Amino acid sequence: MKKLFLGLAPALALVAIAAWSTCRVVGAGAGVPDDRAWAAAAAVRAQHRPGDLIVFAPGWVDPVGRLHLGDLIPLEMAGRQDADRYGVIWELAVRGARAPETAGLRPGWQRGFAGVSVRRFERTPVEVVADLVEVAAAGPGRLRVGGQVARGPQVVLAEVGFTPRRCVQVVPAPGREIEVTFPAVTLGRELVGGVGLADVFTRRDVRTPIELVVRVGEQEVARARAGVDDGWVRWRGATTPGTADVTVVARALGGARARDRLVCFAAEARR
Amino acid sequence: MSGRAGPAPRWLRPALALGLGLLALALVLAAQRDVGIARDETVYMGHGSKYARWWLDLVGGKDGTLSEQTITAHWGGRGMTDNNREHPPLMKTLFGLSELVLHDELGVAGEVTAYRAPTAAMFALLVVVVFLWASRLRGLAVGVIAALLTLCLPRAFFHAGLACFDAPIATLWVATLWAYWRGLSSRRWAVAAGVVWGLALATKHNAFLLPFAIAPHFVWVALRHHLPATGRSAGGAARALGRGLREHWPLVASLVVLGPLVLVALWPWLWFDTVAHLRDWLRFHLDHVHYNFEYLGRNWNAPPFPWHVALVTTLLTVPAATLAAAAVGAAVWRREGRAAAAAGRRDDGAAGVLLVLSVVVAMGPFFLGSTPIFGAEKHWAAAIPSLCIAAAVGVVWAARRAAAAARAHAPGLATRAAVARGLEPAAVAVVGLAIVGAAAIETGHAQPRALTHYNAIAGGAPGGADLGMNRQFWGEAARGVLPFLRTRAPAAGAPARPVYSHDASPAWGLYVRDRLLPPTLRDSGREEAGVASSQLALVVHERHFNRHDYMIWAAYRTVRPVFVLRVDGVPVVTVYERPATGR
């Protein structure tokens, strides 16, 4: 009997693998919730309040999530610098995935809708006393710009590290720096922001990094460096509550070859 | 080793070859109708028609056709990509001739199908070559199974339906190796080897790698045959190699002389300033721009690339059952080769070594970390038929072993002649059907969006997306949203609705000509200006294309799409519509 089994084993194993692989490939789509499941999950809009953050996981399912709930996601929320200012986060996830925004949080409420897991997280949000992107968007003429400018500053929705970022974009002359001063900014105890290189093609063609220096008055409070593969680099610095000029220096490192550095930054003054 | 049920009738082998070839051709031609037009195809189609017209002018005796000026105007130019001179012309010329004959003259095929027919025919030829080679090596059963497994490769089957070079170069790569192998024992085949290599050179620059498979094999064969007589020393090895070269001089001469001559003969751009034009061609590929490509969750567009791209991508795209059978077959083949060598018998090991070298050389550049990884498995597609042949060996070995075990366990079976005769073929049929069936179902399931397909090891298309593997390229998948776009076409008499067609822009005109789109859904143009003037917009999902979503969000003032095309739940194309208040 053992001889028979050993003789048959390779053939049986191949047939079993063939059957397994067929079921796994053909049935793969059944493991991803369809529009009916998403439509049911989208019923959470009844509990959603303006200002609640909605995120989807895994990242590749994002277009489907936006198809069903995209009207609840303003551009400013989609292009956020981070999730810290949101007290309520709705996470809609499939295949057991989790969104990075909810890492370490425990859901206060959750429910499954035919494969779409909906979780509601609540936490104490940070209090933003000034948003430099909003300042730039509201009054670009109020900004003081120095240094060697190729383009900018302008408020854009840019691709940084393949994520959307609503940011102030500046392009220094090759190998040079730009200073953008935001006058009389209301400050809290910290200034928190992010910076990165926008546009995948200029990142590919020119591989030099950039550096960001943030000053409050004459004092440097933060410094960050972002290379072509670093994505959105977060930075933070301690500040004294009050009002002061905030200057952001964007530097294209690497000399004359450091052209087309689309420096994209955002910052919030937090209480 | 030609099967164990007695010699097959002489007509059977050619009949099977013909049947397999026709089956492959018919299936590919039928399947490609639902495959979108790839960005590169539009370039090759246009230039192919131009090249074909030039040849017709030449045959028709048109004055000035052979002038340097006319050749340059059709085949070259000052710029590196003028008249698509960065790619050799064989397949493009065939695309153009096919379109002229099948579409313009005979009207038996649509425009796109006619352009694509030569690739389908080339892929059918690959299936035939694999059958002929494998059946010659290991019998008809191995030949048929190897050929069917080659046909049932989801990604290769997809590329076989495109007017591009990847399927043809895989065919001509394998055909060159086959002709070379036959040429070791036949003068006719020796001549053919040079010609086929020339055709490969005239198809794609990958063919320049073939000597790196052929030369080591030739040395190995020469040493194996002559070393016993010349002695095992450096001098003996040199003498053995010399004897091999003398013995096979027609083959060597054919490859060295005929191959390059065929390339030059088929490419008028090389008829003057040959060295400079050859140098420009190769320099283009040595300095090729690194397109963006997603692999294991990261976008890659600059070296160093991961060394394991070819290995992992093959493991995740070739059907798992084929891979498992190939592992069995490779082990069996190696064991048999060793046993034959130990017994002093000649075996088919020389072919086995050649098939292994084919894999090593086709995939080798991708282990260096400096070779661009865009295009993934299509760039080492020539390696995969070796796996299919090994898989067929594994299938037949496992089936025969099972039949032998059954006979031994139930001796009564062996005494009944009819049962004894039928047991082994039946076992081969069952195991073969299981493996080929699995590959066939997977290939069918993967079409027409096979670039999104991943195998059972990955977990299908969603598993591939979870792993952060590339979902598609060339904008082909836009074909899948055309039915939706038609529902958004303006009513008769209403103004046109421009569409930001993204990566499908080069194909838009062909879609309109093919009546897949009404002219009122015209292409709005490229990048920000195209988005700004559009009423509808689509994004073909590749990681580096996320920026197109963001451009559209900013212009339309919404992140909400109106349609998402999915493959097994994985988004591949998203369509946006400008809200009434969005402008």
Q: Which residue of A has its CA nearest to B325?
A: A14
**Residue A170 exposure: Cα atoms within 13 Å on the Cβ side:** 31
Quick check: B539 and B554 in contact, CB under 8 A? no
Distances (CA, A) of A193 to A84, B293, B302: 11, 29, 28
Reported confidence tier of residue B416, pLDDT bands at 50, 70, 90: confident
Nearest to B295 by CA among B462, B456, B464, B461: B464
pLDDT for B250-271, tens place per residue? Answer: 999 999 999 999 999 999 999 9
Please identify among residues 408-427 of chain B the ones whose CB lies closer than 8 Å to any CB of chain A: 408-409, 427
The confidence band for B582, taking pLDDT boundaries of 50, 70 and 90, is: very low
Q: Which residue of A has its CA nearest to B401?
A: A7
Give the C-alpha separation, B236 to A79, whole Å: 72
In chain A, the percentage of residues whose pLDDT exceeds 70 is 100
Quickly count: other Cβ atoms within 10 Å of residue A203's Cβ. 27
Residues with Cβ < 8 Å from A184, sequence gap 6 or more?
Answer: A243, A244, A245
Set of chain B residues whose Cβ sits within 8 Å of the Cβ of A17: 320-321, 324, 438
Lowest model confidence (mean pLDDT) among A65-74, B240-249, B301-310, B342-351: B342-351
pLDDT number for residue B1: 39
Task: Render pLDDT for B532-572 as a digit per residue (tens, 0 to 9).
Answer: 999 999 999 999 999 999 999 999 999 999 999 999 999 99
Output the pLDDT for position B6.
Answer: 65
CA distance A75 to A97: 24
CA-based nearest distance B189→chain A, Å: 37
Task: Give chain B's end-to-end CA distance (angstroms, integer).
Answer: 73
What mean pLDDT is predicted for residues B55-65?
97
Residue A209: φ, ψ to 5°: -85, 175
Average of pLDDT values for B122-149? 98
Average model confidence (pLDDT) across chain B: 95
The pair of structure tokens assigned to B105 is: 């003259």
d(CA B345, CA B342): 8
Contact assignment for A28 to B463 by CB distance below 8 Å: yes
> Would an 8 Å CB–CB cutoff place B405 in contact with chain A?
yes
- A95 and B466 in contact by Cβ < 8 A? yes
Q: By the 8 A CB rule, do B475 and B183 touch?
A: no
Q: Please tell me which of A116-130, B287-301, B369-383 the model is most confident about, judged by mean pLDDT.
A: A116-130
**DSSP assignment of B207-272, as one string?**
GGGHHHHHHHHHHHHHHHHHHHHH-SSHHHHHHHHHHHHHHTHHHHHIIIIIHHHHHHHH-GGGSS
Query: Does residue B161 come out as left (phi exceeding 0), alpha (psi in the -120 to 50 range) or beta?
Result: alpha
Q: In terms of DSSP H, where are the helices of B60-110?
A: 68-75, 90-98
Looking at residues B143-158, what average pLDDT do you find? 98
A34 contacts in B (CB within 8 Å)?
569
| pLDDT for the residue numbered B287 | 84
Mean pLDDT confidence for B225-232: 85
pLDDT (average), residues B162-183: 98
Chain B residue with CA closest to A155: the answer is B554
pLDDT tens-place string over residues A138-188: 988 999 999 998 898 999 999 999 999 999 999 999 999 999 999 999 999
Q: How does B245-255 read in b/e, with b if 16+ C-beta sit within 10 Å? A: eeebebbbebb
pLDDT category at B461 given cuts 50, 70, 90 is: very high
Distance in angstroms (rounded) separating the CA atoms of residues B299 and B469: 9
State the CB neighbour count (10 A cutoff) for residue B519: 11
Asked whether this complex has an ipTM greater than 0.90, the answer is yes
CB B111 within 8 A of CB B510: yes
Q: Could you say which residues from 458 to 477 on chain B have a Cβ atom under 8 Å away from some Cβ of chain A?
A: 459-463, 465-466, 471
Beta carbons of A26 and B453 less than 8 angstroms apart: no
Looking at the complex, report in whole angstroms how far the Cα of residue B268 sits from the nearest Cα belonging to chain A. Answer: 34
Residues of A whose CB is below 8 A from B299: 162, 200
Q: What is the DSSP letter of B506?
A: G
Q: Pick from A99, A74, A75, A132: which is nearest to A264 by CA? A: A132
Angle at B403 between CA B398 and CA B408, to 5 degrees: 125
What per-residue confidence (pLDDT) applies to B347? 65
Question: Nearest residue of A to residue B546 by CA position?
Answer: A162
Give the three-class secondary structure for B505.
helix
Contacts of B402 in chain A (CB under 8 A): 7-8, 10-12
**Domain boundaries defined on chain B:** 129-389, 476-577
Locus of tokens 């925004």:
A101
pLDDT at A45 over 60: yes
Query: Is the CATH number 2.60.120.200 carried by domain A128-270?
Result: no
Q: At what angle do helices B140-151 and B417-446 cross, to 10 degrees?
A: 10
Question: Angle at the Cα of B308 (from B305 to B309), degrees rounded to 5?
Answer: 65
Of B296 and B374, the one with more pLDDT? B296
The label of the residue with tokens 């909400």 reads B560
Does B460 sit within 8 Å of A27, measured CB to CB? yes
Taking residues B65-75, what's their average pLDDT?
97
Checking if the pLDDT of B487 tops 60, the result is yes
Contacts of B320 in chain A (CB under 8 A): 17, 20-21, 24
Put simply, the answer to whether B544 touches A25 (Cβ < 8 Å) is no
Give yes or no for a contact between B337 and B352, defined as CB atoms under 8 angstroms apart.
yes
In the numeric block, which tokens belong to residue B348?
């088919």
Task: Please say whether the beta carbons of B572 and B472 come within 8 A.
Answer: yes
* Cα B67–chain centre separation: 35
The per-residue pLDDT for B5 is 52
- Residue B349's pLDDT is 64
Alpha-carbon Rg for chain B, nearest whole angstrom, is 26
> Do B393 and B332 touch, CB atoms closer than 8 A?
yes
C-beta of residue A154 within 8 angstroms of C-beta of residue A79? no
Q: Is B518 exposed, middle or buried (0-12, 13-18, 19+ CB in 10 A)?
A: middle
pLDDT for res B348: 65
pLDDT grade, residue B273 (50/70/90)?
very high
Residues above pLDDT 70, as percent of chain B: 97
CA separation for the pair B37, B507 (Å, rounded): 6
- Label residue B359 by pLDDT band (50, 70, 90): very high
* CA neighbor of B431 nearest in space, from A7, A68, A73: A7
β-partners of residue B468 are none
| Amino acid found at B341 | A
pLDDT (mean) for A55-83:
98
Please name the residues in contact with B553: beta carbons below 8 A apart, sequence gap of 6 or more: A75, A78, A157, A164, B559
Shortest Cα distance, chain A CAs vs residue B570, angstroms = 7
* 3-state SS assignment for residue B451: helix
pLDDT value of position A155: 97
Selected for mutation to probe chain A from B547, B565, B572 (highest A CB count within 10 Å) is: B547
Asked if A60's CB is within 8 angstroms of B561's CB, the reply is: no
Tell me which H or E stretch contains A234: strand A233-238
Nearest to A89 by CA among A120, A127, A113: A120
> What b/e sequence results for A257-268 when a residue is b if at least 16 CB atoms lie within 10 Å of its CB, and e otherwise?
ebbbbbbbbbbb
User: Does the beta-carbon distance from A164 to B398 stay under 8 Å?
Assistant: no
Which of A98, A99, A124, A120 is closest to A110 using CA atoms? A120
pLDDT band with cut points at 50, 70 and 90 for residue B448: very high
Contact list, A207 vs chain B (CB under 8 Å): 302
What 3-state class would DSSP assign to A39? helix
